[in-house]
Structure 1
């Protein structure tokens, strides 16, 4: 199964699950020393988490990660999940949530209950898919128009305004689809122009930006006040650019440092911009490694950059 399509499909299928999780207290889980250490997007170990949640979190902490970024996974009880994080000594300053697929207010209620600082859209459709439309959502995301990006910007503004009322910041996470050009202007350019910079922040995925044909360091520098989180993903090739999700780009994902994405330059730009969190985001399957072995390799790469 194509790994990138699998990830997005899992997010879509998980929307109903996340919308129905048990709401707990408002305790924040940002992590006292999280900013001095790398974090990890939990999709990387989603299969392992489902088998043994507590052990998975403990192993990530043992590798050295200071925090996790939540994913729309099998969290059926937020209070229990928060206890497991606390027991492992991990923070949870951010999470990917099914914005655009579930009721925004319910999703934000869960984000607040989890205690994140940043609620992030992993994929943000221009319009909520209904019924049979869900099956074709990936094709829709691969063929977005300039008008679609304007609609997405409007949705992002609405989510961000509601999030701010809960003391949460909304951030947009990019892939490669945003860098298709429309008369010389990319979809990402449209999103930046049409969203409120005071409300809509950015989680820059440097690998996906590069795969889509953009210069992540330059974009980070140009939008320094909005970049709050940086994702590290590496590709064995980024030439020619690919602006569709799927095997052509996703099949080239490799261990951090083993590819050609300009991650060091992106990190330096994000650090200069004042980004708060630096997160490993390595999609499975892994070549010749277990998920935890890959997590160890990726941690070592980012920790070296950070001097952690």
Structure 2
């Protein structure tokens, strides 16, 4: 199986040595990366390193602030230059109906321009989207019913919200292209894949059956980001062997 990596997992390296981070995760066996910032590097630099180490850009975590005014066209051009077709909004608070409405309005404004450029807009969840906000609305339900956004499902946060991540993937498979394969110990406590309480093996199997791209995220930096994502890959290769892959 092929797996991608959310580079926030190795944020202790990327800010000071992006090329080194890309080289090392490629050597571990990751085949794609999802960016969490470019740290001043040009699109040409990033694309050169991706090509050099046999990686592709699965997606980027890009805030809505980068999709306003002149920044929108700059963001589109950067994504096209690095060959990235998935732009993922990483977080919104959605604390009130007004915040949800404003987000949806902005999505409706920018999504046609992104789509015309060959870029698909996604939203990455945490756990608060599955709980009532100050106005009693469930943000995830609002996004599902009022937008055409694809969902980048962070499967650990779905689990932490008290939901069954496998059932959620199956129910909403038509709105999902990419998932975060992630583990944890409850709440904000991080864990490498297979070291926490989330049903990671079952989520992996469901993703394979549904044909979803799997992007690993492991946030603990214990003892370093690279060591943590190496443990994650070791777990995944063990699961691959069980499947005969």
> Normalising by the residue count of structure 2, what TM-score does the alignment of the two structures yield?
0.87
Query: Structure 1 regions of 5+ residues with no counterpart?
Result: 1-35, 125-140, 238-248
Once the 2 structures are TM-superposed, how far is the Cα of residue 175 of structure 1 from its aligned partner? 0.9
Cα displacement string for residues 56-95 of structure 1 (whole angstroms, at most 9, x for unaligned residues): 2111111111111111131421101111111111111211
Aligned residues: 238
Hey, what does 1:204 align to over in structure 2?
153
> Normalising by the residue count of structure 1, what TM-score does the alignment of the two structures yield?
0.71
2:178 is equivalent to residue 178 of structure 1: no
2:194 is equivalent to residue 257 of structure 1: yes
Kindly tell me: are residues 148 and 269 of structure 1, through their superposed partners in 2, closer, same or farther at Cα, counting changes over 3 Å? farther
Whether contact under 8 Å (2:67, 2:110) holds in the other structure is no
Match of 1:161 among 98, 112, 115: 112
2:188 is equivalent to residue 267 of structure 1: no
Once the 2 structures are TM-superposed, how far is the Cα of residue 54 of structure 1 from its aligned partner? 2.1
Whether contact under 8 Å (2:194, 2:235) holds in the other structure is yes
1: CA distance between counterparts of 2:209 and 2:106?
Answer: 29
Hey, what does 2:75 align to over in structure 1?
107
2:37 is equivalent to residue 72 of structure 1: yes
2:157 is equivalent to residue 189 of structure 1: no
Match of 2:221 among 273, 282, 285: 285
Kindly tell me: are residues 284 and 75 of structure 1, through their superposed partners in 2, closer, same or farther at Cα, counting changes over 3 Å? farther
Whether contact under 8 Å (1:227, 1:270) holds in the other structure is no
Match of 1:120 among 88, 110, 133: 88
Cα displacement string for residues 127-158 of structure 1 (whole angstroms, at most 9, x for unaligned residues): xxxxxxxxxxxxxx2x7124433432333333
Whether contact under 8 Å (2:219, 2:225) holds in the other structure is no
Kindly tell me: are residues 223 and 157 of structure 1, through their superposed partners in 2, closer, same or farther at Cα, counting changes over 3 Å? farther
1: CA distance between counterparts of 2:32 and 2:55?
Answer: 5
Query: Structure 2 regions of 5+ residues with no counterpart?
Result: none
1: CA distance between counterparts of 2:65 and 2:22?
Answer: 28
